[in-house]
Amino acid sequence: MTSSASPTHHHGPGHHHEHGHGQADTGQDDALAAVLDLDAEIFAPYLDAVTRRVAELAGGGVTHVVDLGSGTGAGTFALLERFPRARATAVDSSPAMLARLAESARAKGLDDRVSTLETDAGTGLGGITDADLVWASASLHHLDDPAAALSGIRAALRPGGLLAVAELDGMPHFLPDDAVAGRPGLEDRCREALAGLHAGQVPHLGADWGALLAAAGFTVEQERTERLELRAPLPDAVGRYAHLVLGRVRGALDGRADPADLAALGTLLDGGPGDVRHREDLVVRSTRQLWLARRS
């Protein structure tokens, strides 16, 4: 994580992190965990496609996967399914996230294949040297010094091992432009205001990971950007996801955005007829980037 302790740090699909390696506040973790779980559910087909591409490059010999910044374990569990002979080490600085992940592993009967490591992943990966695959989804940009972190990841990978870096460009879009009467462009303005906050709080969000990977001695074998779009009929999870994300956006922008925009956000969250959980016109748009890089 970065070192800022601002309670307004939002990013990704409405992610809102308390900072201070391992000091995360439980309430914040609960809210983030809910967003991460919904994100994994809604974008499961994308995650499935990504792990398939990873498997194509990784080949059949994957026995140890490291999930860096694992959160609730979306990547851990997807990869254990993709690589049935592998065990996974879930690394996160948040003990609450790791506790949730361990509980899910037990519930899924996978506890013998999952271990957890609570650490600041920017300072190394606990002496691991045999990873076949390191998976870092929406996590690398949190680390204080990406170059140092990549060199720690390199040390954790066996020669020829793969690093998968997945990032996203900011909060997803949910609404048609005219969704809130009198406030066209509401989501775009929110995204812009959040980007301004991130520039100070999460300076590595949007970094050129291809260049950083090359500089750290990785060979980038694939780099792709996908613009995902989900349209009706959408599962109920989408309304709940939009509600959580936009609620967190409103919290982050409180006192920082036009009061009329904050009020408009309120109508999307207040349980009334305009609430995102009741709307049938949601379209989820999210841009996701992926780099697959090999340790030489």
Q: Which residues bind ligand SAM (CB under 6 A)?
A: 1, 12, 15, 21, 36, 69-71, 74-75, 91-94, 97, 120-122, 137-139, 142-143
| Nearest-approach distance from CB 61 to ligand SAM, in angstroms | 24
| Nearest-approach distance from CB 132 to ligand SAM, in angstroms | 18
CB 283 within 8 A of CB 229: yes
Q: Which CB sits closer to ligand SAM, 71 or 161?
A: 71
Q: Which CB sits closer to ligand SAM, 122 or 146?
A: 122
Structure tokens at 130: 């045999």
Cα–Cα distance for residue pair 290/278, rounded to 1 Å = 33
| Nearest-approach distance from CB 168 to ligand SAM, in angstroms | 9
CA dihedral 19, 23, 27, 31 (to 10 degrees): 50
Q: Which CB sits closer to ligand SAM, 138 or 190?
A: 138
Residue 254 dihedral angles phi and psi, to the nearest 5°: -55, 125
| Nearest-approach distance from CB 97 to ligand SAM, in angstroms | 4
DSSP string, 16-54: E---STT---HHHHHHHHHHHHHHHHHTHHHHHHHHHHH
The residue number with the shortest CB distance to ligand SAM is 71
Integer-rounded Cα Rg, in Å, for the chain is 19
| Nearest-approach distance from CB 209 to ligand SAM, in angstroms | 15
Q: Which CB sits closer to ligand SAM, 7 or 274?
A: 7
- Reduce the secondary structure of 90-149 to three states and give it as a string: EEECCHHHHHHHHHHHHHCCCHHHEEEEECCHHHCCCCCCCEEEEEEECCHHHCCCHHHH
DSSP string, 45-57: HHHHHHHHHHHHH
Structure tokens at 23: 């000091």
Q: Which CB sits closer to ligand SAM, 69 or 170?
A: 69
Q: Which CB sits closer to ligand SAM, 93 or 286?
A: 93
| Nearest-approach distance from CB 245 to ligand SAM, in angstroms | 12
Q: Which CB sits closer to ligand SAM, 101 or 213?
A: 101
| Nearest-approach distance from CB 138 to ligand SAM, in angstroms | 4
